[in-house]
Homo-oligomer: A and B are copies of this chain.
Amino acid sequence: MEKLPLVLDLSGTFVFALSGALAGTKRKLDLFGVLVLSFAAATAGGIARDVLIGAIPPASVSDWRYLGVSLFAGVITFYCSPLIERMSHSVLLFDAAGLALFAVAGASKALAYGLNPVMAVMLGMVTGIGGGMARDVLLAEIPIVLRAELYAVAALAAAAVVVFGHTLRLPVVPVAAVALILCFSLRVMAIKYGWRLPVAKV
């Protein structure tokens, strides 16, 4: 039971690292550039959260396993990028799973550090979307999470469920499970049916 969060966290790190590395190989970065993008995409959200709540050094800086998993994902992608791209639909599913997980983990950690409920929801969302934002800023693009199908909203929903459950003192594991399923399903259905938020009329 104790090890469950770590296993989930490292799985999230792995799939986000894949997405960063894929974006880097498409832009013709060299091997090192691809590994930096893997690590940035996998850990930027968690690092931002940890710096903001004062959990210094951040988990992904003090624990080498995050680095190891990111580099592993980066090297696989670099040498097998055609394969990874052919699997890109599965990558989207993994990515949705990673988003759900990081949002839940982020909100829980913010609560554990004593943040108020509203800001714990925010930090859960930041943990989920931060990696993708760092990846896109490093590639000099407008972050896709600012435009994609319900991406951040799904993270927000998961974080809100966690914080709501915490406030009502509901048992942690079932609440986390509901939050994970909610975020994952929202994101998968948004991709499938092209759900989007409205765009302002200018």
Contacts and interface: CB of A to CB of B under 8 A. Distances in A.
A178 to B, nearest CB: 22
Chain A interface residue bracket vs B:
35 or more
A29 B146 contact: yes
B57 A200 contact: no
A160 interface: no
Nearest to A146: B33
Contacts of A11: none
Q: Taking chain A's interface residues, is the majority helix, strand, or loop, or is none over half, making it mixed?
A: helix
Given A31-B199, A85-B202, 4 more contacts: A27-B142, A31-B198, A32-B153, A137-B138
Contacts of A85: 202
A85 to B, nearest CB: 8
A57 B38 CA distance: 27
A37 B146 CA distance: 9
Nearest to A123: B61
Contacts of A122: 61, 67
Interface stretch (A2-10, A48-56, A181-189): A48-56
B147 A34 contact: no
Interface in A120-152: 122-123, 133, 137-143, 145-147, 152
Interface string A12-27: 0000000000001111
A193 to B, nearest CB: 16
B57 A146 contact: no
A147 B29 contact: yes
Contacts of A201: 81-82
